[in-house]
Amino acid sequence: MAREYFTHKGLLFPCLDYSPEVLNYVENEFQVQDDDVFNVTYPKSGTNWMLEILSLIRCDGDPSWVRSVLNWERAPWVDNQNGLKAALKYPPPRLICSHLPVQLFPKSLQRSKAKIIYTLRCPKDVLVSLYHFSKLLLLLKDPGSLDSFLEDFLSGNVAYGSWFDHVTGWMGLKGNENFFPITYEELQQDPLGSVRRICHFLGKELSEEQMAAVVENASFQSMKGNKMSNFSQAEDQYMDHQKGEFLRKGICGDWRNHLSEAQSQRFDTVYRERMQGLGMTFPWD
Ligand code: PPS
């Protein structure tokens, strides 16, 4: 089961912990509640950073919760079996993570006032982060060479499917008052301003000191030193801790250290083809 995938509605998902039954249940039966906050991303786009920020905002910047409860318990991933069980038991107001593309997201979202925070990241950095993470996360297939993984990524032959489809699908909700898109790059460039905007979206008032505490306690270094947030507690059946760390580099533009000129140009060609119709610009454009 480890490192194997199945296909559900045209997309690949890991066999370990995922199933068509769970995905169907989440899409068709899961009841979104008005006070739910969803942390939605394509993998490796800053999900856990946002999870930490949202956890800390919930506690007015006080780090006790993030230092005492595992991140996947603070905000379970509804997409898989264990996460779904935890989400169903979660006392409201729920904080829930998901990597699902918009077409597989719970249909009941349409009838609710739940809030969605959608974090995007430069796709070349997503590619590089996912390439490294695929070596240690035993849910994912071994990535092979960077050249072949680049082609898999560009064609959506990876878990959760195509980055391009995910982003264009979710960004269709832009302008909806309960949808808040933000980039990893904005979080890096202006963490305090980003936290202020997230608080405003959530209708949560924090003082300047409390927002500064959110930024500080959700920093790369703070998370790296917090065993509730750095995935050091992930079981060996899920993660090969010898192969690397979840909190790898945490920077923008690391792709420049990995992609050759030819690989970068190949990426740009597909990016232009897939993104030109969207009419949006991003910090990495
Ligand atoms: S996952 O596995 O899909 O849920 O991964 P995700 O959390 O979306 O993304 C992991 C990358 O985010 C980086 N990260 C951070 N960067 C900056 N600051 C903070 N606090 C932070 N927390 C996580 C993490 O290091 C991964 O990026 P790379 O480039 O691999 O370092």
* Calpha distance 153→157 (Å, rounded): 6
230 lines ligand 1 (CB under 6 A): no
Average of pLDDT values for 196-221? 98
Report the mean per-residue pLDDT for the chain. Answer: 97
* Calpha distance 112→127 (Å, rounded): 33
Residue 32, domain member (yes or no): yes
Read off the tokens for 132. 């490294």
Average of pLDDT values for 182-206? 98
Res. 83: pLDDT tops 90: yes
135 lines ligand 1 (CB under 6 A): no
- Which of 99, 101, 53, 39 shows the shortest CA–CA distance to 214? 53
* Calpha distance 61→43 (Å, rounded): 26
For residue 6, list its beta bridge partners.
13
Q: What pLDDT score was predicted for residue 202?
A: 98
Type and span of the H or E element at 186: helix 184-189
Res. 178: pLDDT tops 90: yes
DSSP state of 285: -
Please write the tens of the pLDDT for every residue from 253-274.
Answer: 999 999 999 999 999 999 999 9
Residue 5, domain member (yes or no): no
Other Cβ atoms less than 10 A from the Cβ of 203: the count is 7
Domain that holds residue 202: 22-278
Q: What pLDDT score was predicted for residue 279?
A: 87
Residue 101, domain member (yes or no): yes
**Does the interface ipTM go beyond 0.85?**
yes
Type and span of the H or E element at 88: helix 81-89
The closest-lying atom of ligand 1 relative to the alpha carbon of residue 133 is: 30
Known catalytic membership, residue 166 = no
DSSP 3-state of 151: helix
- Which of 200, 206, 188, 230 shows the shortest CA–CA distance to 51? 230
Nearest-CA residue for ligand 1 atom 4 is 47
223 lines ligand 1 (CB under 6 A): yes
- Binned at pLDDT 50, 70 and 90, residue 43 comes out as very high
CATH number of the domain at 254, please: 3.40.50.300
Instruction: Write out the DSSP string of 19-39.
Output: -HHHHHHHHHT----TT-EEE
Give how far Cα 253 sits from Cα of 11, 123, 281, Å: 28, 10, 17
Residue 8, domain member (yes or no): no
- 8-17, 185-194, 276-285: range with lowest mean pLDDT: 276-285
Please write the tens of the pLDDT for every residue from 93-146.
Answer: 999 999 999 999 999 999 999 999 999 999 999 999 999 999 999 999 999 999
Residue 54, domain member (yes or no): yes
Query: In degrees to the nearest 10, what's the CA dihedral of 225, 231, 232, 236?
Result: -170
**Into how many domains does the chain fold?**
1
Residue 127, domain member (yes or no): yes
Q: What pLDDT score was predicted for residue 61?
A: 98
* Calpha distance 223→215 (Å, rounded): 11
CA-derived radius of gyration, the chain: 18
Other Cβ atoms less than 10 A from the Cβ of 280: the count is 12
Type and span of the H or E element at 14: strand 11-14
Residue 14, domain member (yes or no): no
C-beta separation of 267 from 124 below 8 A: yes
Residue 10, domain member (yes or no): no
The closest-lying atom of ligand 1 relative to the alpha carbon of residue 97 is: 4
Nearest-CA residue for ligand 1 atom 22 is 49
- Binned at pLDDT 50, 70 and 90, residue 278 comes out as confident
